[in-house]
Structure 1
Amino acid sequence: MTEPNLLTESKIIDEFLNYIVTIRGFSEKSAQAYRYDLVLFFRFLKRYFAMVPQTDVFDEIPINDISIAELKTIDLGILYAFLSFSSKERHNSDFARSRKVSTLRSFFNYLCNKQKYFGPNPVTDLEMPKLPARNARYLEWDEAVDLLKGIKGRHQERDFAIITLFLNCGMRLSELTQIKITDIKNDSLRLIGKGDKERTVYLNRACLKSIQRYLLVRPEVNSNYLFLSQQHSPISNRAVQHLVKKHLAICGLNTDEISVHKLRHTAATLMFKYGNADIRSVQEILGHENVSTTQIYTHVDEELLRDTLNQNPLSQFESEE
């Protein structure tokens, strides 16, 4: 039997993570991010309550002895002290601290509202840090066309199909690598998204044609996964990131600015810009739980603003002199 790691193991944290995965449907990746934040918070508490010498190496402080007794003494001031510590000593960005606020809210809501260990809930008035607006980079239409035209090489059909799906369907990296041949029925594709939530996206002509061409050269192996690696095993997330970066570089695009996720961003933006898509439809296609997440992709450029104003029927009215 493996000995528990006293540095990072906590029964309270484990119970919370089990709850968000099994009941709330969070992914294991999200649970690991929550664990990281809570381990940091518990170590901060050990130092804050002088449960360890100030000279102890912070990242080596054990957390297995933090109990409900300590957690029930937490107030808003301690939470803000933790966020200040995260900013000044851990050099967290606004976005990283915002994630920590989300973690703390979920954690204390679980302790106070679900388990009813104590009250009042210290996160009730905990505010989110003010975040700067993000104007995330995405490919313009002509850049996307150049990217697709530039795909050559040994795995041309596979890579073309992968990038075509990203640019047309806006799927996540983890969703693409998990596609099975049996997930495709005529023009519909079943995807398993965040929290194992299933959704259907519809494949347009470009997607269907690229998949058909790839299947003609796909290795005949006993695997139901659509996209295979050079070793004929299911292609990994890392391999897809590598091939996308390679093709971006070949067509002269900045690989520091453009990533696999930016292809998803591009798909959503092009739907709004050229497809006259409404936000609810794009939300469904992207698999967003909240429409506020989809709103990040609704770029409005200067040309569109001018056109909108010019379409006002009063735009032609001038005073008679």
Structure 2
Amino acid sequence: MAHLTNIRKSGSGDGARNRSLPAIRLFFKVMIEFGRIELNPAIEVPKSKVEKNRVPVYIEQSNLGDLLQLVNSKYRTRDVTILALMSYCGLRVGEIHRLNLTDFNEQARQLAVLGKGRKWRYIPLPPTLIELLKQYLTERLQPRRSQESAFFISRLGRRISKRAIQDVAEKTFDSFKQTNLQYKDVTLSSHKLRHSFATNLFATGKVDLRTLQELLGHADISTTQIYTHVNDHAKKEAMMTIQPILPRNLHQYQ
């Protein structure tokens, strides 16, 4: 079905596709009950197989600076700030969209984020990001309505849309892949920046799983555990560099 195909093309995983499928089936079921259609076309659509414990796609810490440097748009400071909050704070597209002026507390040096399930989390901000947010606010576009509280404003003077946020990421990814060929065949999306934040942070070895869960706003720590497998992958790669030198003719000592 077209909608499920678009979910995959947008860079979302098979899990997101599988979560949409029951809602689509229910929609067509209701349509049948109202006599609008006779058959449910979604009944035979299978769920995608989700690979468990799959290492998430991410951008290495050393390459994130290259990505932000390549932002090239009329509203560059705004767009750099958007990508930086996803890359270095783990914000989702919807969280960027919902962000309000009052959510940035410069005095407390933190950002209040309204996440999934209407739950708030509070992210401490490093000095570099505080300065970036302050710089953006000096260039923030004039909203059409004086009472508009959105942190990020579109060129039309309204709260920036989720689609516009994704466009910022996608255009930057196109440029990034041209200069960073190791990512040429990697599927990158705005959500992969959230993966990059979590993966790079956990890989430092200075952050425990519980803290990472709080920063990401995961309701269940099992969701956060996917990032532990990055360390497993790194350990495997490290061990493969070892070339043991063993004694010859071991059988003569037996």
Query: TM-score under structure 2 normalisation?
Result: 0.72
State the distance in 2 between where 1:255 and 1:243 align.
20
Q: Which residue of 2 aligns with 1:268?
A: 198
Q: CA deviation at 1:296?
A: 1.4
- Give 3-state SS (helix, strand or coil) of 1:246's partner: helix
- Give 3-state SS (helix, strand or coil) of 1:162's partner: helix
State the distance in 2 between where 1:181 and 1:275 align.
33
State the distance in 2 between where 1:144 and 1:233 align.
29
State the distance in 2 between where 1:288 and 1:278 align.
14
Q: Deviations over 1:17-75 (max 9, x none)?
A: xxxxxxxxxxxxx997654344567899x9xxxxx9xxx84238xxxxxxxxxxxxxxx
Q: Which residue of 2 aligns with 1:237?
A: 162
Alignment of 1:107-122 (within 5 A): none
Number of aligned pairs? Answer: 213
Structure 2 counterpart of 1:147, from 56, 64, 67: 67
- Asked if 1:284 corresponds to 2:211, the answer is no
Q: CA deviation at 1:137?
A: 1.1
Q: Deviations over 1:88-107 (max 9, x none)?
A: x3233234xxxxxxxxxxxx
Matched to 1:142, the amino acid is: S
Q: Which residue of 2 aligns with 1:296?
A: 226
Q: CA deviation at 1:259?
A: 0.5
State the distance in 2 between where 1:225 and 1:43 align.
37
State the distance in 1 between where 2:233 and 2:22 align.
39
Q: Deviations over 1:208-266 (max 9, x none)?
A: 12211111211233221111111111100000000100011112255861101110010
Q: Say whether the 8 Å CA contact 2:111–2:123 is kept in structure 1.
A: yes
Identity rate, percent: 30
Which 4+ stretches in 1 moved above 3 angstroms?
30-35, 37-44, 253-256, 301-308
- Give 3-state SS (helix, strand or coil) of 1:251's partner: helix
State the distance in 1 between where 2:235 and 2:131 align.
32
- Asked if 1:91 corresponds to 2:46, the answer is yes
Structure with the larger RCO, 1 or 2 (CA within 8 Å, 6+ apart)? 2
Q: CA deviation at 1:185?
A: 1.2
State the distance in 1 between where 2:27 and 2:59 align.
38
Matched to 2:75, the amino acid is: H
- Indicate the RMSD between aligned Cα atoms, in angstroms: 3.4
- Asked if 1:189 corresponds to 2:177, the answer is no
- Give 3-state SS (helix, strand or coil) of 1:171's partner: coil
State the distance in 2 between where 1:303 and 1:93 align.
28
Matched to 2:126, the amino acid is: N
Q: Say whether the 8 Å CA contact 2:25–2:40 is kept in structure 1.
A: no
Alignment of 1:34-45 (within 5 A): 35-39=23-27
Query: TM-score under structure 1 normalisation?
Result: 0.58
- Give 3-state SS (helix, strand or coil) of 1:177's partner: helix
Q: CA deviation at 1:206?
A: 2.6
State the distance in 2 between where 1:39 and 1:220 align.
40
Q: Say whether the 8 Å CA contact 1:179–1:191 is kept in structure 2.
A: yes
Bigger radius of gyration, 1 or 2? Answer: 1
Q: Deviations over 1:129-173 (max 9, x none)?
A: xx5442331111222121012123311100110111001110111
State the distance in 1 between where 2:185 and 2:98 align.
24
